[in-house]
Amino acid sequence: MNKRDPVLGIDPLVDFAFKLLLGSPEHARVTVHFLNAILGTRPRITRVSFKNPIQGKGYNDDKLVILDILAEDESGRQYNIEVQTTLPLGLNQRLTFYGARLYVDQVTEGTQYRDLKSAVVICVLSKPLFPLQPDFHSDFRLRDESGQILTDDLQVHLLELTKLKVKRENIGKATPLERWAFFLLNAPKMTAEEIRKHFPDPEFVEAVEILEMIKQTPKKMHEYSARMKLRLDEAARLDYAREEGIERGREEGREEGREEGREEGLQKGKLLGEIRLLQTLLGIETPTSDELSRYDLPKLTALSRRLKKKLPDRLQ
């Protein structure tokens, strides 16, 4: 590689770049390629239209506008595509709601149930939502416990990029979805020529051109930088809230411990305060306060450690 070749430097996981990449009518074949990689089934998608194409207007720098992508393929299947670089509380429920809304919004006067088309939600994640699950692609549908599918009409696909095992040296043998995950995760650190070498497909060549266009167009670069700043500010705000919450929980716990008047009570009270705060931040309701009050010190300590391990993945 020529040392003078600059890396691309544009992160496709910044929502402004992500929507230009996968939500532009003039670059629809990039979206088609991405969707076929996600679904991996027949019938193959050959055409998509966008219900909320990205507009030419600028974005207010002080508003965290959500730039998701709404699309429809030639068979009528509905898609909601988004990227998340943080893990907001309630994300699971929100994605479920988006899918249900896509499905229900098809109903008009005279609609027959058999005419409803699949509603597919796709969320690209730069942090793992399910750390213990090794697969980087999760495909949720309506199934029973044996795996029998009731219907494919509601789907939620998660792409947890940091779980990808593919390396640059074996990218040529990767599946289309692995190649997309690698591209989204590593494009900013590669030169345009490197990307073209490792991703010769015309859709990836076009994707590189979109990211280069952002870098070379002052107005779009300004909008990209504004969205990047918002992302960093939001991450810092969540980090501050997390640290403040944990410290407040410790104070509340110490107060409970003082009232019990014993060293063990002090430690137990501190842990109870921490655990209650952690449960609130994580959106977890169990164990309940009554159940926690019956836990001994070792059990409370173990639970606090487990919750703290989850917290950075949820709020950083």
225 located within any domain = no
Residue 287 confidence (pLDDT)? 79
Check: CB of residue 123 under 8 Å from CB of residue 95: yes
1 located within any domain = no
Check: CB of residue 265 under 8 Å from CB of residue 257: yes
Cα-to-chain-centroid distance, residue 84: 3
Tell me, yes or no, whether 205 and 297 share the same domain.
no
Tell me, yes or no, whether 182 and 242 share the same domain.
no
CA distances from 141 to 36, 75, 106, 117, 158 (A): 17, 19, 19, 14, 12
Residue 316 confidence (pLDDT)? 39
Tell me, yes or no, whether 67 and 178 share the same domain.
yes
274 located within any domain = yes
Tell me, yes or no, whether 19 and 149 share the same domain.
yes
Of 151, 181, 216, the domain-final residue: 216
300 located within any domain = yes
263 located within any domain = yes
116 located within any domain = yes
Residue 114 confidence (pLDDT)? 92
Residue 90 confidence (pLDDT)? 86
18-52 pLDDT, tens digit per residue, is 999 999 999 999 999 999 999 987 789 999 999 98
94 located within any domain = yes
Tell me, yes or no, whether 21 and 167 share the same domain.
yes
Tell me, yes or no, whether 142 and 258 share the same domain.
no
Tell me, yes or no, whether 35 and 104 share the same domain.
yes
Tell me, yes or no, whether 250 and 176 share the same domain.
no
Residue 27 confidence (pLDDT)? 95
Tell me, yes or no, whether 205 and 255 share the same domain.
no
CA atoms within a 13 Å half-sphere pointing along the CA-CB vector of 132: 3
- Helix, strand or coil for residue 31? helix
Paired residues of 232 in beta bridges? none
Check: CB of residue 127 under 8 Å from CB of residue 86: yes
Q: pTM here?
A: 0.74
Total domains, the chain: 2
Of 183, 216, 249, the domain-final residue: 216
Instruction: Please choose, from the candidates 79, 26, 33, the residue with its C-alpha nearest in 3D space to the C-alpha of residue 56.
Output: 26
Tell me, yes or no, whether 19 and 139 share the same domain.
yes
- The CA distance from 123 to 131, in Å, is 16
Per-residue pLDDT tens, the chain, 316 aa: give them: 445 578 889 999 999 999 999 999 999 999 999 999 999 877 899 999 999 886 545 555 444 455 799 999 999 999 999 999 888 778 999 999 999 999 999 998 888 999 999 999 999 999 999 988 999 999 999 999 998 999 999 999 999 999 999 999 899 899 999 999 999 999 999 998 999 899 999 999 999 999 999 999 999 999 899 888 877 777 666 666 666 665 665 565 555 555 554 566 667 777 777 777 777 666 676 777 777 777 888 888 888 888 777 765 434 3
Tell me, yes or no, whether 197 and 304 share the same domain.
no
Q: What is the mean pLDDT of the chain?
A: 84
* Domain enclosing residue 303, as ranges: 238-315
Q: What is the dihedral of CA 100, 106, 111, 117, to 10 degrees?
A: -80
Tell me, yes or no, whether 306 and 190 share the same domain.
no
Of 181, 216, 251, the domain-final residue: 216
Residue 62 confidence (pLDDT)? 45
Beta strands in 48-103 (DSSP E): 48-50, 69-73, 78-84
277 located within any domain = yes
Paired residues of 159 in beta bridges? 124, 137
